[in-house]
Amino acid sequence: MSKLKVGFGFDVHQMKEGHPFIMGGVQLEHHSGAFGHSDADVIVHAICDALLGAANMRDIGYHFSNKDERWRGISSLILLQHVIGLLKEKGWAVGNIDAMICLEAPKINPHVPAMKANIAQAAGIDEEDISIKATTNEQMGFIGRGEGVVAYAVCLIEKA
């Protein structure tokens, strides 16, 4: 009999004019981008937190402190690879990932296939086991004003 666990992740980053916008390992064309210590890839950060939470291994900030220069500007896909390694050490395998991005612009749908391919490669799972969706905040709040971007993720992990 296998053991299943579910994890939830959340991430938010401020948008800054003229900054690159990386989402799911894809650079999006936009006048501003998410700003952070790493590449500020909110969807990958939310996925990392969901996976770590499911395995009861704390959170992304614990493993990749924004005070540690090793992580400055790093691709979040590398962080995801590291998280997958931590899970494997404990005998966990990823079942599936379901993620949601909330922002007003740019449109995410054209980039979903590339994002899924990047995340699947980094996580060592099939693209069919990853769902990426996007929504707006109906022009309300900091997301509606384009001041920030948010991502949520849920994952299932399994131990044989």
Point out the annotated binding site for a divalent metal cation.
11, 13, 45
List of E strands, the chain: 3-17, 21-23, 26-28, 32-35, 92-102, 130-135, 148-159
Residues contacting residue 51 through CB under 8 Å, at least 6 positions apart: 7, 9, 83, 84, 87, 94, 97, 155, 157
Report the residue count for the chain. 160
State the chain's maximal CA–CA distance in angstroms.
51
Question: Measured in Å, how far apart are the chain's first and last C-alpha atoms?
Answer: 7
What are the two backbone dihedrals, phi and then psi, of residue 8, each rounded to the nearest 5 degrees? -125, 135
Which segments are annotated as binding site? 11-13, 37-38, 45, 59-61, 64-68, 135-138, 142, 145
